[in-house]
Structure 1
Amino acid sequence: MTDQRIEGAVTETGGKLQNGLGRLTGDSKLQVDSKLNEIKGKAQNAYGRVIDGLDGMVDKAPADLRDPARKGLDFARRKPLVTTGILAGAAVLLSALGRKR
């Protein structure tokens, strides 16, 4: 289990607790913040699940590709936001290349 999954679960649970406290006290700002924390936690957890899945795939990769793949996964673990930005940028570029004009 990756650190992202653990942090995501903690953040999501904290958001749920905040939401309960916000409803109990009638604090709408706390309720909004709690929803943002729940979403953030779910996103972190999802990212961690993807990293865990890719980790299993690296173990099955050909021997000559395992080391570069491990380095890429280590980068993704250390820099989740940068990795997400890189993947989003690549998706935008590929979708633009795939459009017919």
Structure 2
Amino acid sequence: MTDQRIEGAVTEAGGKVQNGFGRLTGDSKLQIDGKLNEVKGKAMDAYGRVIDGLDGMVDKAPADLRDPARKGLDFARRKPLLTTGIIAGAAVLLGALSRKR
């Protein structure tokens, strides 16, 4: 289990508590902050699940590709937002290139 999954579960649980207190006290800002933390926690958990899945795939990769793949996964673990941005940018570029054909 990756750190992102653990942190995501904690953030999501904290968000649920915030949201509950917000509903109990009638504090709409606290409710919104709680909902945002719930969503953030779910996103972090999903990212961690992807990293865990890729980690299993690296173990099955050919021996000469394992080290570079592990370095890439280590980068993704250390910098999740940057990794997500890189992947999103690549997807936008590929989408734009495919439309031109």
Q: Which runs of 5+ in 2 are unaligned?
A: none
Tell me what 1:84 maps to. 84
The percentage of aligned residue pairs carrying the same residue is 88
Aligned match of 1:97: 97
Structure 1: segments with no counterpart, 5+ residues: none
- Tell me, in whole angstroms, the C-alpha distance in 2 between the residues paired with 1:19 and 1:31: 4
> How far is 1:90 from its partner?
0.1
| Partner Cα separation in structure 1 for residue 100 and residue 73 of structure 2 | 34
**1:54-74, Cα deviation, whole Å (9 max, x unpaired):** 000000000000000000000
- Tell me the residue number matched to 1:13: 13
Question: What code does the residue aligned with 1:71 have?
Answer: K
Partner in structure 2 of residue 45 of structure 1 = 45
Could you tell me which amino acid in structure 1 is paired with residue 91 of structure 2? A
Note the aligned Cα RMSD (angstroms). 0.7
Distance (whole Å) between structure 1 residues aligned to residue 54 and residue 98 of structure 2: 26
Matched residue pairs, number? Answer: 101
Q: Quick one: distance in 2 between partners of 1:44 and 1:100?
A: 34
Cα offset, 1:87, TM superposition: 0.1
Q: Which TM-score applies when normalising by structure 2?
A: 0.98
Letter in 2 for 1:21: F
Distance in 1, Cα, partners of 2:19 & 2:93: 39
Letter in 1 for 2:23: R
Give the superposition deviation at 1:100: 3.6
